[in-house]
Amino acid sequence: MSAVSISALFFGCNNDEPIGGSAQALVVECVDPGGEVPAGEWVCGEEKVVECTTPRGAYVATIYAELTEGTCAEATVTVSEEGPFALGSHEVLVTVEVEDAEAGPASLCASELVVVDTVAPELTDRLPELWPPNHSFHTITVDDCVAVEDACDDEVEVTFTYAASDEPRNDTGDGNTEEDIVNLGCDSVELLAERKGNGDARVYTLGVRAVDAAGNVTEGECHVVVPHDQGGKVPVDSGIAYREEAPACDGG
């Protein structure tokens, strides 16, 4: 009559820190009174500014803290936070506890750590294709059109700024439609799958603007191609024939 529970087989693997050298906890190195700190290292009491390297912030390896009395051999120093340190300002405190002393841990020093993101997002054109050229509308989102990378922010805001075509609205050999770019919004647009039968492929150009949490902006563009045929002919961007502006977008 014994029931064996196997519900505990799943044990919390929710560690989503990047694997590798950058994901390390902040460690405090004790320095005897009057001792030397390696050049260029962060010393407790000084402010430090670091670049954000993951969506969780920055990792800092070591802070050096100099004792005011006693020796490191008989003291234990600890740091108030191990990181990662999110974008913004942090006060890092170092406390010291001396072996066999009556008193408990005492505050030794404090430093301000400022995590900044100075690098704008990177955009990569995904170059989606519309096929067949049967004069039907396709909804293209910013995600369909462009890939965004930012070391610090994994929720970069990306919006369309304009949409353009390298073929006129209505020309020879492209059917007889007047509206080829419709419902241009902040994050999607509808584009007509058509091209001139006597042309070199239609290339729609979509202006995109990416803004990360720190306010760094990248302006770029991506392209949606309606090939001339499926024979592998390289699509030619013949330059902008006309262009529609996107509405102003919040935060964009």
Q: Are 107 and 78 in contact (CB under 8 A)?
A: no
Nearer to Ca ion, 83 or 235 (CB): 235
Binding site for Ca ion (CB under 5 A): 117, 119, 150, 152, 166, 170, 177, 180, 200, 212, 216, 236, 238
Q: In whole angstroms, how close is the CB of 142 to Ca ion at the nearest point?
A: 17
Helix (H) or strand (E) holding 31: strand 27-31
3 state SS of 27:
strand
Q: In whole angstroms, how close is the CB of 55 to Ca ion at the nearest point?
A: 10
The 8-class DSSP code of residue 209 comes to E
Nearer to Ca ion, 72 or 119 (CB): 119
Q: In whole angstroms, how close is the CB of 196 to Ca ion at the nearest point?
A: 8
* Residue-by-residue DSSP string for 97-135: EETT-SS--EEEEEEEEEEE-----EEEE---B--S-SS
Nearer to Ca ion, 181 or 246 (CB): 181
In angstroms, the CA 191 to CA 188 distance is 10
Q: In whole angstroms, how close is the CB of 168 to Ca ion at the nearest point?
A: 8
Nearer to Ca ion, 107 or 136 (CB): 136
3 state SS of 208:
strand
Tokens of 97: 């506890």
Nearer to Ca ion, 25 or 240 (CB): 240
Nearer to Ca ion, 30 or 152 (CB): 152
3 state SS of 248:
coil
Closest CA to 93 of 63, 50, 68, 73: 63
Q: In whole angstroms, how close is the CB of 226 to Ca ion at the nearest point?
A: 9
In angstroms, the CA 136 to CA 190 distance is 10
Nearer to Ca ion, 32 or 51 (CB): 51
Q: Are 29 and 98 in contact (CB under 8 A)?
A: no
Q: In whole angstroms, how close is the CB of 145 to Ca ion at the nearest point?
A: 18
Q: In whole angstroms, how close is the CB of 120 to Ca ion at the nearest point?
A: 6
Alpha-carbon dihedral sign for residues 71, 73, 76, 79: positive
